[in-house]
Amino acid sequence: MAKKILKATFENRCNGCELCVLEAQRQLKRVGLTDAPIRILRDTSKSSVYFHVDIEGDINNLNIKEIVKVCPTAVFEILEEEDEDIYIG
Amino acid sequence: MKISTSVKNILEIDLEKKTYQIRARSDLQDILGGIGLSLKLYSEFASEKPLILSVGPLNGFFPFASKTSVLFGVKNKIYDYYIGGSLSSRIKFANIDAIVFLGRSKNDVFIEIQNQEVNFLDYGVDFESQGLPGKRSYLEFKTNKYLLDNFFRFSGSEADSILHYKKILGIVISGTFNFNLPDPVEYDRLYKEILQKYQRLTVEKGDFPSCSGCPMGCAKSNIGEKEGSLLAHSLVGCLYAQNLFNNHDLIISCLNVLGYGYTHEDIEKYLQTLYNLKKDYIFE
């Protein structure tokens, strides 16, 4: 059976709004940044502003369609991955 | 943790003595936040030339409540600025309502705030490695101006001048508290209702870095703001979302879902008090 995985395929589009972080936290019934399954990290090594989207594996236990939907710059996509645990070769 | 709805947490930082204290003040409960809170604190600390950063009850919790109030006085005039970026959410997630910088440091100093603890760091420290990644916001003097999160700035040079005068080279603040709400389902519904109203903003979507909690990425986000509605700047919302922040019914719903018991009458009374307080000062 294929498992749905959230991926920040278009990370370069991220504008740092953190709506994805807050959406994930709301699904976990809390507001804040600690233990968030997504983190937005600012890359300060360059003169312009870039963002890195750091995703924890347990994000996929949440409603990831809502996380895709809340992003204003379409950073995310949902990929399908074969679940190795039930694969019979 | 629960939201502190009955007190305002004020972090007072004495730059000369390099000391600090946090006060949980129930006497400020009737003041919404932002410009109202800053002005009240200014009236208490005027002789110590305070620089005050403050937020409102919606910052960090609702879309477009993405600014921080920055207030100070120079030569009998009050300067009242609003800056974007992620600062307001970090202050809120540190469970702080206002930070008051008192006096002037003897030497150039970087200030690191993590929740309600303060460290005074000397010139030469690797400032950008301070704070907690993903949970921090930093204001830093770079070349000839102060930049917040490497992008956002004040709308006037006087804010840069006061930071320079106080010998503050940078401020990094990290907030690590998570908050639990009495009705998370209703909160989520209201959050999404507001987010869907982005077309009522008086600014176009862009591809610039956005303030925390705002999807717009607008071309004006990095400039900061000066004047605007008293209610919007008490909450401390974005000027371009004034249409939303002046909707009293909507604002009361937002405040109530967070556990604040404000009523329409309370808001009207607060605005009248603030209007009267403002009359005592000359605003630039």
Domain with residue B239: its CATH number is 3.60.9.10
List of residues 6+ apart from B92 with CB closer than 8 A: B55, B59, B60, B61, B175
Out of A15, A31, A44, name the one closest to residue B209 (CB): A15
Nearest-neighbour CA in chain A from B254: distance (Å): 14
Say what the pLDDT of residue B156 is.
Answer: 78
A13, A17, A73: best to mutate for the B interface, most B CBs within 10 A: A17
Nearest-neighbour CA in chain B from A3: distance (Å): 26
Q: Residue A87 domain-assigned?
A: no
Residues within 8 A of A (CB atoms), B 262-281 only: none
Range of the domain at B89: 1-284
Measured between alpha carbons, how far is B230 from B242 in angstroms, rounded to an integer? 10
Chain B residue numbers touching A39 (CB-CB < 8 A): 133-134
Mean pLDDT within B205-214: 94
- As for how many domains chain A has, the answer is 1
Residue B91 has pLDDT above 60, yes or no: yes
pTM for this model (two decimals): 0.95
Q: Which residues of B12-42 are buried (b: 16+ CB within 10 A; e: fewer)?
A: bbebeeeebebeebeebeebbbbbbbbbbbb
Q: Residue A88 domain-assigned?
A: no
Say what the pLDDT of residue A84 is.
Answer: 61
Judge whether B210 is closer than 8 Å to chain A, CB to CB. yes
Residue B259 has pLDDT above 90, yes or no: yes
| Residue A35 Rama label (left phi>0; alpha psi -120 to 50; beta) | left
Measured between alpha carbons, how far is B240 from B266 in angstroms, rounded to an integer? 25
Is the pLDDT higher at B241 or at B76?
Answer: B241
CB pairs under 8 A between A and B: 87
Residue B125 has pLDDT above 70, yes or no: yes
Residue A27 has pLDDT above 60, yes or no: yes
Mean pLDDT within B228-257: 91
Contact B211 A73 (CB under 8 A): no
Residue A88 has pLDDT above 60, yes or no: no
Mean pLDDT within B219-247: 87
Percentage of chain A modeled with pLDDT above 70 = 88
Percentage of chain B modeled with pLDDT above 90 = 81
Say what the pLDDT of residue A13 is.
Answer: 96
Residue A70 has pLDDT above 80, yes or no: yes
Highest-confidence segment of A8-17, B119-128, B216-225: A8-17
- As for how many domains chain B has, the answer is 1
Residue B224 has pLDDT above 70, yes or no: yes
| Residue B245 Rama label (left phi>0; alpha psi -120 to 50; beta) | alpha
Judge whether B259 is closer than 8 Å to chain A, CB to CB. no
Q: What are phi and psi of A10, to 5 degrees?
A: -115, 55
Q: Residue A89 domain-assigned?
A: no
Out of A19, A29, A51, name the one closest to residue B180 (CB): A29
Looking at residue B265, the DSSP 8-state letter turns out to be H
Judge whether B122 is closer than 8 Å to chain A, CB to CB. no
Measured between alpha carbons, how far is B34 from B69 in angstroms, rounded to an integer? 5
Chain B residue numbers touching A69 (CB-CB < 8 A): none
Chain A residue numbers touching B4 (CB-CB < 8 A): none
Q: Are A13 and A73 in contact (CB under 8 A)?
A: yes
Nearest-neighbour CA in chain A from B204: distance (Å): 13
**Nearest CA to B184 among B194, B192, B175?**
B192
Q: Residue A85 domain-assigned?
A: no
Measured between alpha carbons, how far is B173 from B178 in angstroms, rounded to an integer? 16
Q: Are B177 and B95 in contact (CB under 8 A)?
A: yes
Judge whether B203 is closer than 8 Å to chain A, CB to CB. no
Range of the domain at A37: 2-80
Say what the pLDDT of residue B10 is.
Answer: 98
